[in-house]
Amino acid sequence: MSISDPSGRTTCELAGLTACERIRAHLGMKHGAVGVRFIFDEQELETQALPARPDKPSWYCQMVLQAAGGKQFTARMQDMSCPNSELSLGFRKPRFVNIKTGFDKETQAVVIGPLENADVILLVLNNRQAMTMSILMGGISAEFRGEVAVCGEATAQVYHEGLPNLSFLCNGARMFGGYKDSEVVLGLPPIAAEKVAERIMALQKAGGALCGCVVSDLPREIVENFKTIGFEKGSDYFFGKLCGWSVRIYLDKDDTGRIKNITLYVLEKAPLDGVLIKPPFSTREREGWVDIVATFDTQSIGADLYSGGDKLRNTFTELICNYIIRTQEGASQK
Amino acid sequence: MNNRYRDHIIINALMRGGILPPGVKEELFDQWGEVGYALCHDCLEGRSSLCGRPPVKKHLERVAAFYGGDAAEHTFGCRTAKFAVMRAVREWLDANPERTDTIVVDANSHYSTNIAAELNSLRVAEVPHNGYPTYSMCAAGYEEKILEIKRETGRLPALAVATHADPYYGNLAPVEDIGRICRELDVPFLVNAAYTGGVIPIDMRAMNADFLSVSAHKSMASLAPLGYVITTHEWSGRVFATSAQRTQWSGRVFGKKIPNIFGCSIGGIPAISGMLSMDHVEERVKQWDRDIESINAFARAMEDIPDIMLLGQRPHRHHLLHFETPGLWEALKQQGKNGFYLSEFMIKNGVVGLHRGMSKHIKFSVYGLSQGERDTVLNLFREIAGAKVPAGKE
């Protein structure tokens, strides 16, 4: 799990494999993740072991791409070829242009490359990889103007707002930075990278069969929703208790695999004594067992499987408790 | 390097049908266990299935006859048997444009069926099962799916596949009826008998099957990896077609090799174990009716433990038993124990084979265990569930 240092920064470490390596492996990324750390204190530059400065001034976005290939830099304002980067990364306060940088203090340097203690994680992605990240993250905001991209949209904005942002880059990045037309840059707070990595691990663990295969495609939202009403997922159905009955809920699919109906089961050992069963419930015998069962169209009973919560439980409770009744004789037997 | 489970009672449903019969292990390792290519000393023709000494060729004829087929080859497991069939079907498609590259497969198929299809660029159309709590396949579903494909594409599917006993619930598919439908509709039919071939009597002619894939290490008391693909004269020329390649520069040809089984199959211990176990396998399938009766008795005793119910067909017709066990899960949760506790508890008490981490559902087999061993297993489940032995069943 994540380990935070006293400054609150995160080391991006997750169960042996770093979160960023896990993301890279999952996405099949060509480039490595790039950490960016802001240094505001001149003293830090003298007292800490930091990567060397670049040999000659360069574009920030170009340094990021080089770092994605394994290099590391500590870049100061003199090392920046692009005036927009100087502004957006807080090296210099804007005087003649109307740009809001958000930095209270002047940046002394940015460390580009190391993931440890990074303030922002940058991922160079292709379209498909960005799509996959969006799925893993439940959506990504893409606030971009095509002007101050890797430095501003993907780095500074993420640093200030603490939220991921997808940048479609700027002309500078495309012309001088070395980025391909198909590439975009996603800026992430380290904690977001860790959450994505955890999600990837959960997906990889998702199984249910001995072979490690996923044997049910019940949407996660439905599984979570049923959990809130006290129903746990079995292999491909749910089980729980209502009015003293052990209840199973199976979501029937139509021929195309879409969830169509909902079937409620109360399964009792045969013979079934002391139980009054009212329609729409009926009984089916299975060697040694009696299934009390009714199938409903989800819409007809107003069941919102995805987010129904208490209303869903009430619907099930009404159906089970009003239509399957233990008579006094049955109650005493039980 | 020690085998932690050497003296444990094995209840893993994958393994119960593959356990070597008494005496075979000793003979196998004493006589043959020293070298990897144990059966290749007297190979004259460059393919293990053609060996006369030891009599692999005769053994394969015996296997084919045992299953009611015309020809058999041994493979690196059941999955490669299915691959061989689908590879042959794929090539057959090239000459049969009236077929689609879609195959019809049951919704309880083993993953390796789907992987074999994927490897051969065959699309899979699923025949649904009937859902909770039996998850049974119905022959009519095959007819509907085949006709649906025909209606939508104007062409017949390339193949139908049925999993004889499925790996999830241990249900037997109605393969005879499915085979009849396939015969009537002119769709080649593969029965995957990985969990049944060598346990239950099988006659692929009665199933109207064109192909049968079996797993020797799963169900024929053999060591892994070993399987067989069995087919008819009609198809053997395609499935077992030999290499037609002639290399461009050296002019070499590999005319005895069968590409669909990767040239030459297993040449060592697993193949010999299959040969040594064959007598035992032929005998044991004759006792299947008695075996399944006692397995059902065990399942009923399990169901005497509160909130445990066997899923799948009733009475059960296969030794793989899948119970839903919310009661066990609840009991463990109340004790602050997670799903791993159940398998660890069993191992600590000398029983291995439950899937680690699972306690809402358990899947296992007691096939081939003595009554005493079954009682041990049953009593451990009773103990962990805090259940008493029902009166009259002590």
Q: How far is C-alpha A194 from the chain's CA centre?
A: 9
CA distance B325 to B330: 9
The answer, for B386 touching chain A at a CB cutoff of 8 Å, is no
* CA distance to partner chain A, nearest, from residue B130 (Å): 9
Domains, chain A, in order of start with CATH, read 19-203 (no CATH), 220-333 (3.30.1460)
Question: If DSSP codes are grouped into helix, strand and coil, which group holds residue B385?
Answer: helix
Q: Is the ipTM of this complex over 0.90?
A: no
CA distance B365 to A70: 52
Task: Tell me whether residues B324 and A239 touch, CB distance under 8 A.
Answer: yes
* CA distance to partner chain A, nearest, from residue B243 (Å): 34
Q: What is the DSSP string of B28-86?
A: IIIIITT-TTTT-TT-SSS-GGG--SS-HHHHHHHHHHHTT-SEEEEESSHHHHHHHHH
Q: Are strands B159-163 and B189-192 parallel, antiparallel or unpaired?
A: parallel
This prediction has a pTM of 0.79
- Kind plus residue range of the DSSP H or E element containing A315: helix A310-323
The top-level CATH class assigned to B9-17+287-385 is alpha beta
Residue A146's identity, in one-letter code, is G
Nearest CB to A239: which of B326, B355, B363?
B326
Cis peptide before A189 (omega within 30 of 0): no
Token code pair at residue A134 = 């969006």
The domains of chain B are located at: 9-17+287-385, 21-284
Name which of A22, A82, A72, A18 is nearest A50 in CA terms.
A72
The top-level CATH class assigned to B21-284 is alpha beta
**Beta strands of chain A (E only): which ranges?**
34-39, 73-75, 109-113, 120-125, 165-167, 184-188, 232-233, 238-242, 245-253, 259-269, 275-277, 282-286, 289-297, 324-326
Task: Tell me whether residues B133 and A286 touch, CB distance under 8 A.
Answer: yes
Per-residue tens of pLDDT for chain B, all 394 residues: 999 999 999 999 999 999 999 999 999 999 999 999 999 999 999 999 999 999 999 999 999 999 999 999 999 999 999 999 999 999 999 889 899 999 999 999 999 999 999 999 999 999 999 999 999 999 999 999 999 999 999 999 999 999 999 999 999 999 999 999 999 999 999 999 999 999 999 999 999 999 999 999 999 999 999 999 999 999 999 999 999 999 999 999 999 999 999 999 999 999 999 999 999 999 999 999 999 999 999 999 999 999 999 999 999 999 999 999 998 998 888 888 887 899 999 999 999 999 988 899 999 999 999 999 999 999 999 999 987 667 666 5
Residue of B15, B132, B304 for testing the chain A interface, max A β-carbons within 10 Å: B132
